Chain A
């Protein structure tokens, strides 16, 4: 199976609610990144958290990292219809300075 796996595969919420997505991985990482992909578009980088960090914030985004459990979560607060997209975690393995391993993504639908 892939290095990074997101959970759930799909999530449907009402506008204004919070959305939480999880990512699990298998091997030691240097950092973990989250990306967003709108339908038919390329990926856009959201946030990067290093292996020695536990939590990071960026606007309405909050990312946590638990290296002991090899897992990360992305929280989007006060969701908007414009947040509808697929979200991917990508792990930067400790033994590489350039490669990222992407998970299969969580499809988020925010209903107006």
Chain B
């Protein structure tokens, strides 16, 4: 099993450009998450999904959109990139439960917005 994979690994954008980050998991997990990690900080939740066709806002959703058309995929979109969105983006997935289980993380996407 590949676990959680992210595409691309690196990307450089100019201010105003758009892009989509793809996350895929092969563990049949219901829950998926997008986080951003900035230097010296922990992870901040951008958006999450508790099942196919559902999405919800996290702690820092502004400037991002997401879609979960298939259970195994969770897409993160930046419609008009800004320098403040320079960060490392991590996708994670977890099985459902009454309380949060462990999350399985992808390797990350390093995004630079010039």
Asked whether A and B interact, the reply is yes
Contact with B along A89-102 (1 / 0, CB 8 A): 00010001111101
Binding site for A on B (CB under 8 A): 4, 31, 35, 40-45, 48, 50, 58, 90, 92, 94, 96-108
- Residues of A in contact (CB 8 Å), total 24
A20 to chain B minimum Cβ distance, whole angstroms, is 19
Q: Is the CB of A97 within 8 A of B42?
A: no
Q: Is the CB of A104 within 8 A of B102?
A: no
Q: From known contacts A42-B107, A44-B105, A99-B48, infer whether A31 and B100 are also in contact, taking CB-CB under 8 Å.
A: yes
Q: Is the CB of A30 within 8 A of B99?
A: yes
The 6 closest A-B pairs by CB, nearest first: A42-B105, A102-B42, A45-B102, A92-B100, A30-B99, A102-B43
Binding site for B on A (CB under 8 A): 2, 4, 30-31, 33, 40-45, 48, 50, 88, 92, 96-100, 102-105
- Residue of B50, B100, B103, B107 contacting most chain A CB atoms (<10 Å): B100
Q: Is the CB of A88 within 8 A of B99?
A: no
Q: Is the CB of B106 within 8 A of A42?
A: yes
Q: From known contacts A42-B105, A48-B102, A92-B99, infer whether A98 and B42 are also in contact, taking CB-CB under 8 Å.
A: no
